[in-house]
Amino acid sequence: MTLTLRKLPPDVPTVRPSQQSIWQGIVDRTPLGWLQLKKSKSRLLVAIAGIGFADLLMFAQLGIQAALFDSNTMLNRAMDADIIISSAQYRDLNLANTLPRRRLYQIKDIPGVQSAEPLYISTIVWKNPQTRRKTQLTLVGQSLDRPAFALEEVNRNLDKLKQPDTFLFDRLSRGTYADVVAKVAAGQSVKTEVQRRTIEVTGLFSLGASFATDGTLITSPETFLRFFPDRSSGQITLGLIKVQPGVDPDRVLAQIAAILPPDTIASTKQQYVDNEQAYWQQTTPIGIVFTFGTVMSFVVGMVIVFQILSTDVNEHMSEYATFKAMGYRDRYLLAIVLEQSLILASLGFVPGLALALGQYTLIQNLGALPIAMTVERLILVFSLTVAMCVVSGAVATRRLQSADPADNF
């Protein structure tokens, strides 16, 4: 007896029987979870609306929290410095303690330091030239010899600040400033009052409002100190240190830290920004509130999904018991409910995302806050939505283990 081996034609797929059976099982499988969900369309719509609402709340909490951190560190991130020195009592930019200016003279002698400039920052109340209403702004006094910020509009207009009581105004400030911005952009100056003193706005720049203040004004150190007669030029808010090209900032930072007394702290710009954000996130109640709000939104969504799936399981308990009588295991029944969970998560996420985008646009226009959708936040909320639905589905299937086929007979 001769055994003949025959080659398969090239167009015959070489799939192992186990792989082929698994794939065929997935293709031929009846989507029981989807069929059960769409049987009651009103309940399905309620579930989608509930999940979408929970997603909207999570997007709102995370988005506003991120806007809080971004807006309150915008000025910090715009600083043109490699190393920043501050008081040891420093907590955030709007409530910053001062430090002696002589610390900068000590630092200038360190090898590798290119410049060490003072920065004066405080808050002031000014009168809106357009509405005559008073509001609080951040006032910055910077050196006119070297740029303190990586803002082209500011650096281009520093010469306009050489005259006393002249200022650059943030066109993205919160409030009604359309006429003011239009006049200054056209080359005209606008006069208004700051703490009963007449000032002149001669230039514009773009930064944005924060949770603490409605905008920013930039002027020279001399003009800045006129509004604070009890403060001398030797009391600065921050020191901005630039190192020479090619010099390692960390090496210079170590030398600065070695000579500074305990009342002064030196840090890289990134460390300084991170510390500012950590203050708002961990110390102030605002960051804690938004984190708690995100958790509560997750819990609300989980309760909604659990109620929907639990009701569905109870209504089809006899069918599940019949499946068990036919030999299907509990994990097969669990897969049906988890299928429903994933479908609800996907369907509910879409309207939640659409509403969140509209919500972000509204907040950005009305609140002048830097809020926008990010890929990281989108993935995070979708992951939380899937987890929310899967956990709820797993809890809702606990009753399936007690489904007795004998109850149907």
Q: How confident is the model at residue 320 (pLDDT cuts 50, 70, 90)?
A: low
pLDDT of residue 313: 72
Lowest mean pLDDT among 7-16, 48-57, 279-288: 7-16
> Taking the mean position of all CA atoms in its chain, how far away is CA 85?
26
Strands 235-236 and 264-268: unpaired
Q: What is the pLDDT of the chain when averaged over all its residues?
A: 82
Q: How far apart are CA 331 and CA 397, in angstroms?
A: 10
Within 13 Å of residue 100, how many CA atoms lie on the same side as its CB? 10
Q: How far apart are CA 134 and CA 68, in angstroms?
A: 23
Q: How far apart are CA 161 and CA 168, in angstroms?
A: 8
Closest CA to 92 of 71, 64, 66: 71
Q: How far apart are CA 294 and CA 60, in angstroms?
A: 8
pLDDT of residue 330: 63
Whether residue 324 has pLDDT greater than 70 = no
Select, from the ranges 19-28, 31-40, 387-396, the one with the highest average predicted confidence (pLDDT). 387-396
Please provide the DSSP assignment of 57-91 as one string.
HHHHHHHHHHHHHHHTTHHHHHB--SEEEEETT--
Q: How confident is the model at residue 294 (pLDDT cuts 50, 70, 90)?
A: confident
Q: How far apart are CA 25 and CA 407, in angstroms?
A: 30
Q: Are 75 and 376 in contact (CB under 8 A)?
A: no
Q: How far apart are CA 129 and CA 46, in angstroms?
A: 50
Beta strands in 244-290 (DSSP E): 264-268
